[in-house]
Amino acid sequence: MSPSLKSPALIKSLALPIALVVAAAFFATKEPAFLGARNLTQLLIEFSTVGTLALGMFLVILTGNIDLSVGSGVGLIGGIAAVLVFKHEWSAGAALATGLGAALVLWVLMGTLIVKQHIPSFIITLGGLLIFKGAFWLVIESSTVPVSRGDEDNLYSQLTTFYLSHGAGLALAVAAGAVVTILRWRGRRARQERSLPVPPAARALLAPLIGTAAGLGLVIVCNQFRGVPLSLVILGVTTALIYFVTRHTAFGRYLYAIGGNEEAARLSGIRVERVLVGAFAIMGAMVAVTGFLVTAYSGASTTTVGELMELDAIAACVIGGVALKGGRGTVWGVLLGALIMTVLLNGMTLMAVSPEIKFIARGVVLAVAVWLDVRFSRR
């Protein structure tokens, strides 16, 4: 039976794509440069930063928790790496690895405090927000610290300034589409072998084919500027890893189970504490990667790096259909939510919207997203 036009599931599935198209059309009408190859490429870099952080937040929210410290953490970890490179003359690779290690330690400690001391994640991460912000300013001494010392050591800055060659971008899009198609087909065959219902073959192949076509179109647009940015590739790899973890591992199933009913998950034998600490550890890794990308994109570590990014990540998750109570959400929904947030911020920047209006717009989007989540959760 076809779903009713008033079905909440159908409304939600159509609402996000429609909202994205409407927002893009509005900004394209107001500012023609919005659809230019240069701006779209820069938009993809911004999308990579928001999307990467939102994917980490997704895992935490799945368990029914929240992390308010990620914005300050983005600034702190990016600042640590920048200081090691510029002031202490470390190699970029060593500095980035140290920043990643620091993030893992900090987020494992926060996760451990939450599960061992039974303190709400809201309180612990709110404290982390303040501590990390203060530590960040101390690390960079409230000044501007470049991300490299010159051309001889520019790996850090290349995270957002390196672009794939035109041919490499096209080959990557085709390869990614082929892998997705093969995996989807194998999944369909596995369901058939277990006598489970499967969609028609044409419908099963339609989504990956459309995705491949969209990917090729995206690469063609990027090639009109400089090519596919490295940061988008990093987001792609991150997406694949998070998708695999949530859909094809016991750890991912435990995340959904804990968010759905933590007590039931505990009684079923799931080691809830270990899973929660693992979710925060992955969040720390995502904070580190995002910190490196945002700082590299800014060209330097300054006191404003990462500011309010925790709200953008939470909004991306909620817009994408992740339940704040936990237990529900998808990787693709999170990415779509992150793209909507990025389009709004990029479009307002192009239109030279004042910071005051930007703050109001972000707040309204977050409030509406939470309201919709609550409303649909009651049905």
pLDDT tens sequence across 34-66: 999 999 999 999 999 999 999 999 999 999 999
Q: What residue ranges of the chain have pLDDT lower than 70?
A: 1-13, 150-153, 373, 376-379
pLDDT of residue 7: 52
pLDDT of residue 148: 81
pLDDT of residue 93: 92
300 in Cβ contact with 82 (< 8 Å): yes
What pTM does this model have?
0.92
* Residue 1 falls inside a structural domain: no
- 3-class DSSP string for the chain: CCCCCCCHHHHHHHHHHHHHHHHHHHHHHHCHHHHCHHHHHHHHHHHHHHHHHHHHHHHHHHCCCCCCCHHHHHHHHHHHHHHHHHCCCCCHHHHHHHHHHHHHHHHHHHHHHHHHHCCCHHHHHHHHHHHHHHHHHHHHCCCCEECCCCHHHCHHHHHHHCECCHHHHHHHHHHHHHHHHHHHHHHHHHHHHCCCCCCCHHHHHHHHHHHHHHHHHHHHHHHCCCCCEHHHHHHHHHHHHHHHHHHHCHHHHHHHHHHHCHHHHHHCCCCHHHHHHHHHHHHHHHHHHHHHHHHHHHCEECCCCCCCHHHHHHHHHHHCCCCCCCCCCCHHHHHHHHHHHHHHHHHHHHCCCCHHHHHHHHHHHHHHHHHHHHHHHCC
Domain range enclosing 106: 8-162+229-377
How many domains does the chain fold into?
1
Neighbours of 92 (CB within 10 A): 23
* Residue 109 falls inside a structural domain: yes
* Residue 203 falls inside a structural domain: no
Match 């404290």 to its residue by tokens.
127
* Residue 189 falls inside a structural domain: no
pLDDT of residue 11: 59
pLDDT of residue 1: 42
* Residue 172 falls inside a structural domain: no
Give the chain's mean pLDDT. Answer: 90
* Residue 289 falls inside a structural domain: yes
pLDDT of residue 200: 80
The enclosing domain of 19 has a CATH number of: 1.10.3470
Q: How far apart are CA 118 and CA 135, in angstroms?
A: 25
Q: How far apart are CA 281 and CA 157, in angstroms?
A: 25
* Residue 224 falls inside a structural domain: no
* Residue 234 falls inside a structural domain: yes
